[in-house]
Amino acid sequence: MNKCLERLYNGLIKENPTFVLTLGMCPTLAVTTSAFNGIGMGLSSTVVLVMSNLMISLLRKVIPDGVRMPAYIVIVASFVTMVQFLMQGFLPDLYASLGIYIPLIVVNCIILGRAESYASKNPAIPSVFDGLGMGLGFTVAITIHGAVRELLGAGTILSGTALAIQIPADFYTPASIFILAPGAFFVLAFCIAIMNKIKAKHGMEPAKVPDYCGKDGSCASCSNSMCAGRAAAAKAEAKPVEKKEA
């Protein structure tokens, strides 16, 4: 599979940030009271992901290793500010609905995670497609999450837009718990369960911690930021203990 297409597939299906890696839970649970909110938050995060991945990849040999995280945050914050101003000017209703969660995109673990684990170690074009794949995967996931919550909790889909659909009251009585905090957890759990069922049906293995470490044997040089030292610990435990002679 072409490397760019592989990055898209990885973000949408194999390592979907919401339904597989369970990253970015704060906006996923907080703003998905409607499908429209999910689309807005997802596309905003996608734009920031693509642009920050591109910039970080281009500057990967310039940014000193000791200050890479502050540098990444400055880059991400710059693009988030641009998106915030554009949304405030052209989509004021969506801007008011998303509120504080727009500037909080700066510290979204999906964006910083892709910057650290992929964009900082790969060329620009694959990094752009990695950001696009992860962003679209996040968008699709929280849009589905928001649509289900809106349908079950309010009896509508895409309310407040020209494509709004209203379920007749005599056909279905909405359960308001689904647009409240507990409903967000219920719907997310069912979505993850369905995703796992689909992956199991098609023989797709769940994401695993790879059995490799850094070239020098230390976690500091490892590109797998999701491992957090677990692969090294597992290899150390699996190594047979030599018996000392009395």
Question: Could you read off the pLDDT of 23-56 as tens digits, one per residue?
Answer: 999 999 999 999 999 999 999 999 999 999 999 9
| Number of C-beta neighbours around residue 126 at 10 A | 17
Which of 58-67, 162-171, 218-227 shows the lowest per-residue confidence on average (mean pLDDT)?
218-227
pLDDT at 176 over 70: yes
Please give the model's pTM, rounded to 2 decimal places: 0.80
Q: Which among 55, 47, 95, 89 has a CA at the least distance from the CA of 73?
A: 55
- Within 8 A by CB and 6+ apart from 164, the residues are 156, 157, 158
Mean pLDDT of the residues in the chain: 84
pLDDT (average), residues 116-126: 92
Residues 189-220: tens digit of each pLDDT: 999 999 888 888 777 665 554 444 544 445 55
Could you give the 3-state DSSP secondary structure of residue 165?
strand
Task: Specify the pLDDT at position 188.
Answer: 95
Task: Specify the pLDDT at position 212.
Answer: 43
Task: Specify the pLDDT at position 219.
Answer: 57
Which of 5 and 230 is assigned the larger pLDDT?
A: 5
At residue 62, φ and ψ (nearest 5 deg) are -105, -35
Q: Provide the pLDDT confidence category of residue 237 given band limits of 50, 70 and 90.
A: low
- As a whole number of angstroms, the distance between CA 158 and CA 148 comes to 11
